[in-house]
Structure 1
Amino acid sequence: MAVHPALPASRRTRSQPVLLWLQTAPLTDLRWFLYLIPLWWMLGVEQLVWPIFLLIPLIKIIQARRGRVHVPAPARWLGLFLIAYLLSGASIVETTRLITFGRNFAPYLAAFFLILILANVRIEPRSARLVVDAAIGVMIAAALVGLLGILDLAQPQFQSGLGYFLPGFIRNTNYGARIAVKGIGGISWFSGIGDYYRVRSIFMYSTLYASALAAITPMILFRLRHSTSRWGRSLLLLGLLAVLTNLLFTTARTAILALVAGGFYFWLYHRGHRRVAGRARRQHQFADLCLSADAAWLASAPLPRLGYRT
């Protein structure tokens, strides 16, 4: 992974205020965007807002690098895919199909932006840890919300912010109804189990929620292993139990199988490196976990210092 030369640091003093998304570092933007995921869900824009807000740090990177942006091979291939995807939608004329097309296109566009961001910022350990901790915190909170439904303590439903403005012909579609009316799950049926509460928490679909749960699990395990605080370890352990319980109640077999297979591969790969100790190995594992989770959720992909604060 190539490392690009650092750009001159900003001369702004510590006493000056920092405006979110205007003067903050790209990874700080990403961290705050993760913190706000519950808000995006309540507003009904959780699937549409990703490319918009990821574009903000990308624009700052392009300006700071004066247009000299490193485009790694995954981004080039994904860019070609996006062009082909756009061409495939050129003949769509129905409004509902255009909305579905935009919904499906948005995650790929967000993944493209995320690859470019990760490929053009210096990922320092502290900044990476804060982003990982933000993702862990949001997902544990989502799992606790999911437990309310699983345990039949609370199963709320409400109209989202966007739902007040959606026209009727969109609200009447399955996707439009998911945007307009928010809930943390619903009664479903599974062979051998019967009726059960299939949880989706603050995600639109249970399968999407399961993918996020599977991606966050190795991050929690890593933080649990290296936490030195008794309270921190206790909270992480409880959070891990909540996450795994939610994963089971999504009944998303692909995500569960992916987590098991990924864990088995990780164990085999690192079994031969047990004698390699020290700080360098811990940092290597940390980077592996972060990039693996990014790939599982959106995409993954080094690296100038920008003059922003974290």
Structure 2
Amino acid sequence: MRDYWIGTSYLLWWWVAQSNKTLYSSFVSSVNSLRNWHLPLISRASYKRGFLSGSKTLRQEESTLIAQVCCGERIGRELFQKKFLYQHNIRRAMAWLSRGRNQAELVKALKENGLIKTERVEKTLLAVDRGYFCKYRPYEDTPQPIGWNATISAPHMHVTCLELLNEHLKPGSKVLDIGSGSGYLTACMGIMVRPNGLVVGIEHIPGLAQQSVENLERSQRILLEEGVVRITVGDGRKGFPEEAPFDAIHVGAAAGNVPRVLLDQLAPGGRMLIPEGTSEQELVQYDKAKDGTISKRHITFVRYVPLCSPEQQIRGM
């Protein structure tokens, strides 16, 4: 196996430059100039050891710079075939650098880094303060622990999913959020489908489901009062047939094999986003045509917790 190594100088440069606006601007300009470069990758062995960022974070949580650009030989091949490091993928990796002191500053940074593309998604993110859903460093663009071996995804992953589902999150739409966790993305989608829409959040750990309801009560109580958002305890791998079909389905955990039942519960014209894979994961978009045929599109490399049983999750797999 051929291993490729990440340019640690860029990470160290960022570490110093993040507190200095002049250096930071220089860093951003330099990374944005890498469109035609072959950026080396960290080796798989170092990735598993937790080189630079800690093994638990890299193995179990998505959306850090390293998780975005390293996965060993497979990505290395695509990198040298010039399929991976186009400008938009550099910017996706740069999403790790988005941060703020409050929700408004975080949203501004995400927009400046090219992640937020539509005014509708921007307004939604401004309306739902991440601080109500995350106790630790809520305005940094990194995953954060929320208990029960679960995490709230990094803000740029929330942005990515909302932008990809934007056209399917219309007023009156019906949405399924599997692995709803903190309830943050559920709340965002609830705002986008008001009025008369429905977002069902499925969480298989009762304590986490209750915590998400409390988060929603503090942040967006009206979504619960109007019945736009409903949090239920259940096995998301089975979907939610009581309210199927859904115009949009979001899965917040990685599946080795996509459960067929989820595609069956997707409405014609609907879209599903799901992370696929085990050691190497990709965010995949499924679209169901009006005649029922399914098309598949690979979006980006990610790192999510696995789609598993509650016992496996609490045990840490």
Relative to its length, the structure with more helix (as a share) is 1
Point out which structure has higher relative CO (alpha carbons under 8 A, 6+ apart).
1
TM-score with structure 2 setting the length: 0.29
The TM-score, its normalising length taken from structure 1, stands at 0.29
Q: Which has the larger radius of gyration?
A: 1
